[in-house]
Each structure stands twice: as structure tokens, then as C-alpha cells.
Amino acid sequence: MDLHAPKPRGRGVSIRDLSVQFRTPSGSVVHAASNVELDVAPGECVVVLGESGSGKSVTARATMGLLEPNAHIASGSITLDGTELLPPGRAIEAARGRRISMVFQDSLSALNPVHTVGAQIAEMFQVHGKLSTRRARQETIQLMRKVAIPDPDRRFRAYPHQLSGGMRQRIVIAMALALHPQVLIADEPTTALDVTVQAGILDLLLGLVREEGMGLLFITHDVGVAAEIADRVVVMYAGSVVEAGTVEQVLVRPRHPYTRGLLQTAPSVSHARRDQPIAGSLPDPADLPTGCAFQERCPVAVPECHQVRPALLPVGGGQQVACHVEGADDD
């Protein structure tokens, strides 16, 4: 029995039937996310795996209430700890930074270049926590120590450009964690970092999930990162969830042809063999085909795939697949 099991914080995030569209200047409509379903429970790491245009970042931004002005939420519900966050307004404004926060890929543009990193973290405590300057500084240094920044007393006075990319990403994570959020959304937070630095950041985030019961929604294109940290994996393609399940279900026994193709071609350090890559390229999000978005690249497509969009359906053991061919049979 785990004596140190974290006590769950809140009820996490639930996304139901979320559809987000963008209107382009030329008047066409881009279906950036279509009927997305996603849950992040407290103390759980959910990885959203997808390539560019898969809708993974749009889903995250919709959850944070940070969509661009030309985005339109066509349908859906997003709840945090039972509170509805849609349409974006007061609910998400009150929760953002406190109960749910987000870390982005580019730490340099997330930080203000003319303030010290210490002052930027301390501001979280002063503005939201109403702490005195001295207390805020103490809290900040403690937090910097927690995210494994060496020599935090000295680094408190450093400017963003004086720190390495990995160190800056730790500062951004510290800011996101300052108010002890129930859920952290991390959008490709390690993509720009070297592998040895990435490993340290992944350890840090997983520690927060395991030890403090934080819910982590981690967005990546890297199958390896998913295999490394995920409890559950959600695979997205061209705006839709195509497969979801536990990390073993999705990455060891994948059902969707896209997931299979991705896993077969994902390069690995443990073997040199690579299978036939997935043919073709990602569809134009402004001009998605009728039926399944993967049809043109799919090795097992049948006529139905060109007519009807497959729904995300259970295939047993909690695994879900959106495929007419591979999702139908056994369970």
C-alpha cells in the first residue's frame, strides 16, 4: 500500500463534444477541432499525441479560454472541477492561473525580457496571493528550489536571456505552479530542449502528478515522450480524436491505422528497423474530405470511410477507436 498516495485535488477537466472552427480571411471555415472528448483526472498524466494541424493545441487553448478572436466554439462543454468553462468568460478568468494553468513550448517569449525571473514569479504571489514583497520572495525561492533550479538565491536576480532554455522552461513551470493548480496543461514544453534537459523536465512534471495529485495534460508529437510519461494517451488527427486508452492499449496494442502507422515509423534508439512510412500528407484543414479524415492515407480504407465520419466508440477495456474497419469487431 502506498502510504504517500496523494489526496486527489478536485475532479479534473472534462471536455465533451468540443468543436472549434476558424474563419479565414478568404471566407472558408477551418475545422480545427471536431467533437473532441477528453478527460484529465487528478493525479493522472494524459498525453495528447498528434502532428501539426491535429487540433491538440486548439483543444488546450479552448480549455484555457485563450483562443484567437477569429475562433468560434461551435459546440461542446469543458468543465473544471465540475464548473462549466464555456462560453469563455468569468469562469475561466477566475480559474486561470489558480486552478488550471498552462506552459508553452517557447519559454523565451513567455517571459518578460526586462524583468528578473524572480520578480516575475514573485508577482504571482503578490497579485493573486496578496503576499508582502518579502514573503513573495521567500515563496519564490522555495518554488525555484522545487523545480530544481540550482542556486535559486542568485538566479532570482537573473534576466531570462541569462538562463539556458531548460532553466527558462523551469522558471515558466514555476510560474504555472505558483498558485498550486489542480490541472497543468503543457503544450510541447520540451520540444525545443535537448534530450538530457527534457528528461529532467519530464521527471519534474511527473513528480508533481505522482506526489501532489496534480492532473497533467501533456501535448506532444513525440511518441517516445508519450510512452515515457503517459497514464493515458489520446491520439488526434486532423482535428479529431482517433484513438484513446491507457498507454499500453494505445502504444502497445493500437487499433487505429493512423496510430499503427505512427508507431511503426516512429524512430527509436533501441532498433534501426523502420517500416514503410505512412504515405501522403496531412489533409488541408480547410478542405477536409467527407467521411474519415485519414481515408487517403489509410491502407485498410473501405467505401464507407469515404462517406461516413467514424465516431469514437469503445472497443473494450476502456479503449476507444474511431474507425469503421478496425473499431468494429471484437471487444
Contacts with another protein, residue ranges (CB under 8 A) = 51-52, 150, 164-167, 194-200, 202-203, 221-225, 227-228, 230, 247-248, 251-252, 261-263, 265-274, 277-279, 281-282
Pick between residue 5 and residue 199 the one whose CB is nearest to another protein. Answer: 199
134 phi and psi angles, rounded to 5 deg: -65, -45
Pick between residue 125 and residue 237 the one whose CB is nearest to another protein. Answer: 237
Q: How many CB atoms lie within 10 A of CB 292?
A: 29
Pick between residue 136 and residue 226 the one whose CB is nearest to another protein. Answer: 226
Distance CA 157, CA 155 (A): 5
Pick between residue 122 and residue 238 the one whose CB is nearest to another protein. Answer: 238
Sign of CA dihedral 76, 185, 225, 265: positive
CB 291 within 8 A of CB 305: yes
At 206, the amino acid letter reads L
Pick between residue 125 and residue 294 the one whose CB is nearest to another protein. Answer: 294
Q: How far is the CB of 286 from another protein (least distance, A)?
A: 14
Q: How far is the CB of 329 from another protein (least distance, A)?
A: 24
Q: How far is the CB of 51 from another protein (least distance, A)?
A: 4
Angle at 304 between CA 299 and CA 309, to 5 degrees: 95
Distance CA 269, CA 199 (A): 15
Q: How far is the CB of 262 from another protein (least distance, A)?
A: 6
Q: How many CB atoms lie within 10 A of CB 251?
A: 22
Q: What are the beta bridge partners of residue 16?
A: 77
State the distance between the two ends of the chain, measured CA to CA, in whole angstroms. 32
Q: How far is the CB of 120 from another protein (least distance, A)?
A: 20
Pick between residue 134 and residue 271 the one whose CB is nearest to another protein. Answer: 271
Residues 6+ apart with CB under 8 A from 124: 97, 175, 178, 179
Pick between residue 93 and residue 194 the one whose CB is nearest to another protein. Answer: 194
Distance CA 306, CA 298 (A): 11
C-alpha cell at 43: 493525479
At 260, the amino acid letter reads R
Q: How far is the CB of 151 from another protein (least distance, A)?
A: 10
Pick between residue 200 and residue 289 the one whose CB is nearest to another protein. Answer: 200
C-alpha cell at 20: 472549434
Q: How far is the CB of 235 from another protein (least distance, A)?
A: 12
- Burial (0-12, 13-18, 19+ Cβ within 10 Å), 49: buried
Q: How far is the CB of 56 from another protein (least distance, A)?
A: 12
